[in-house]
Amino acid sequence: MEALGVVAGLVRSSFLVNAVYTESAREYGLTVQQGQLLCVLMAQPYGMGELGATLGLEKSSLTGLVDRAVRRGLVRREPVPDDRRAVQVVLTGEGRELAEDFYGATCRRIEGLASGLPPADRDRLATLLGRVVEDNEVPTVFLDAL
């Protein structure tokens, strides 16, 4: 097997992970963006500004995404106690249950992508990817497996 360079390895890996994530979302009746929204909100509620920055979405795109999730009963908007004009987006009970199921299944699938590596190589890969993520200040859009 011919070794890949860093660029090709990262780009091809991102395509692989995105394909798995897309398939998982489809099986759960979600769009990729809805899956990302649910996974981000698992950690905590977010204000709309923070949520847009974390997901990399413009205000109008984020509003549409949240509106659709509200109509599906997955999230709700709640007022921020200290700012009557602001709202935070919170998972509903149904949204939390779907998020946890989707998240667990997606983690297992993505974990399986590296199943052919020995444990020491998997640990090294995790360490190196962690450094790349940290060095580039990537927002927490997906936590470690539960």
Give the CATH number for residue 108.
1.10.10.10
Residue 144 has pLDDT above 70, yes or no: no
- Please indicate, yes or no, if residue 19 is contained in any of the structural domains: yes
- What mean pLDDT comes out for the span 122-144? 85
Asked if the structure places residue 1 within a domain, the reply is no
**What is the domain extent for residue 92?**
6-135
Q: CB of 65 within 8 A of CB of 54?
A: no
Give mean pLDDT, residues 86-92. Answer: 94
In a domain? residue 144: no
pTM: predicted TM-score of the whole model, two decimal places: 0.85
* Contact between residue 146 and residue 107 where contact means Cβ atoms under 8 Å apart: yes
Number of domains in the chain: 1
The answer to whether residue 140 is domain-embedded is: no
Q: Is residue 146 part of a domain?
A: no
**Side-chain-facing half-sphere of 111: CA atoms under 13 Å:** 12
